[in-house]
Amino acid sequence: MFLSVFDMFKIGVGPSSSHTMGPMVAGARFLDKLRAQPFKAYGLRASLHGSLAFTGKGHATDRATILGLAGFVPATLDAEKAEAALAANRETRILAPEGLGDLVFDPEKDLVFDYDRALPGHANGMMLFATDSQGDVIIQETYYSIGGGFVMTEAELASKGDDTRTDATPRVPYPFALASEMLEMAEKSGKSIAQMKMENERAYRSEPEIRDGILKIWQVMRDCMDRGLTTGGTLPGGLNIRRRAPAILESLKREAGMNLTAPHVINDWMSTYAMAVNEENAAGGQVVTAPTNGAAGVVPAVIRYWLDHVPGASERNIPDFLLTAAAIGGLVKHNASISGRSAAVRPRSARPLQWPRQGWRRFWAARSSRLKTRRKSRWNIISG
C-alpha cells in the first residue's frame, strides 16, 4: 500500500475538504473530461445531493463548484482571481475555463441543491452536466467527495465495491498496509518509519523534490497559523462568531512575561495554534488538509509548539515529522477512514491525534541518546 505524503497533506482552501475542496476538484476533473471530447459544449449544469445539498451553503459548496467549473483547483487557488471570476459569472452568466471557450452557466438556474434525491454511492454526491445549444445534456458525470479532498467518479467508486482502501502497489520498497507490517519492516531493515516512507516516496519523486514539497506544505501551514493569530474580527457566515486566537495568544504572552506559567500551558499554546488554523479554515482561507480541513489545526499546532518552545528545535526535522505522520495516516485511511461521513463514530480530530503523537516522538528521538540504545523497541522504530 502506498499513499503519498502529498496526498495526505494537500494544500487547499476552507472550510471543508469534503464539501469545499472536493466539489472544486470534481469541477476541474469534469473540465478535463470535456477537453478530451471531440465536440464542443455550449453550457454547464450542476446538482448537489445529500450532505452537499443540505450543508452546502454553509460550506461554500456552491462557490467551490462554480470555481471548479471555471478552472480553479484548491492547491493553486488565487483568492483575488477567484473572487473576480465569481463576480464576472454573476454579471455575464458565463464561465471561461482554459481551452473550452465561453460556457453558459447561470448560478441561479444551473446550480441545483437537490434536497430530495440522495445518490447511492456516498452522502457527498454531485452530478455535473455539459449541454448543447438546445439545452440537451451531451455528457454527464457523477462524482463523490469521499473525504480529505479525495474525489471519485461513480465508476471508480463502484469498482471498489465495499473496499474503499488504497490500492496496493509493487513499486515501493516498503508496501506496508498494516501497522504490524510497518513495524516488522522497520525492525528488519533497521530504518525508522520516516526513512521507510522517504524510500517509498522516492519511487515517484527525487529526494530534493520531496523535501522541498514537504517544506512548502509546512510554509503554508505556518502562514495559515500566522494569519489566524493576527486576524481579529468576526468570522463570515452570519453567525457573528468572534475570532478568539489572537486574544488568547496575547494572554499567553502576558502570562509568560509575568512568570505565571501554569502546568497545563503546553496545551494552551497548542490549542491556540490549532484554533488559529481552524478559524482561518472557517473563513475560507488557504489551509493544508491534515488529513481533512476539519482536523487541519492539530498537526501544524504540534510542530509550531516544538519549533517555538523547545530548545534546539529546527525546521530541518520537519520532513521526518510529516513523513512519519503521513505513514500513520495512510494506514488509517487504508484500513478505516479519514472521512467524518464514512466513519462518524470517532470525531475527525481524534484520528489525526495519532499522527502528531508519532511525529513528536520522532522529534524527541533526534535529541535523546537514551532512546537510541533501545534499537529493538517499537518506540525506536517509530522515532528512529
pLDDT, tens digit, 9 for 90 and up, residues 30-66: 999 999 999 999 999 999 999 999 999 989 999 999 9
Q: Give percent of the chain above pLDDT 70.
A: 84
Contacts 24+ apart (CB under 8 A), 53-57: 53/113, 53/114, 53/115, 54/115, 55/19, 56/19, 56/113, 57/113
Domain boundaries, the chain: 18-160, 179-383
Backbone angles phi, psi at 112, to 5 degrees: -110, 130
pLDDT score, position 371 = 37
pLDDT score, position 382 = 42
pLDDT score, position 286 = 92
pLDDT score, position 377 = 42
pLDDT digits (tens, 9 = 90+) for 125-140: 999 999 999 999 999 9
User: Would you call 280 exposed, middle or buried from its count of C-beta atoms within 10 A (0-12, 13-18, 19+)?
Assistant: buried
pLDDT score, position 277 = 97
pLDDT score, position 272 = 97
- Split at pLDDT 50, 70, 90, the class of 79 is confident
pTM, 2 dp: 0.80
For the chain, the average pLDDT equals: 87
Residue listed under C-alpha cell 452557466: 105
Cα torsion 211, 213, 219, 221 to 10°: value is -110
**192: pLDDT strictly greater than 70:** yes
pLDDT score, position 341 = 54
**372: pLDDT strictly greater than 50:** no
Q: Which CATH number fits domain 18-160: 3.60.15.10, 3.30.1330.90, 3.40.640.10, 3.40.91.50?
A: 3.30.1330.90
**166: pLDDT strictly greater than 60:** no
pLDDT score, position 232 = 94
pLDDT score, position 110 = 97
Mean pLDDT to the nearest integer, 377-383: 41
For residue 270 the three cell numbers come to 497548542
- Split at pLDDT 50, 70, 90, the class of 167 is low
pLDDT score, position 340 = 55
- Split at pLDDT 50, 70, 90, the class of 224 is very high
The set of residues, in sequence order, having a beta carbon less than 8 Å from that of 265 and lying 6+ positions away, is 252, 255
Which of 70-79, 255-264, 372-381 is the least confident region?
372-381
pLDDT digits (tens, 9 = 90+) for 230-239: 999 999 888 8
- Split at pLDDT 50, 70, 90, the class of 162 is low
- Split at pLDDT 50, 70, 90, the class of 264 is confident
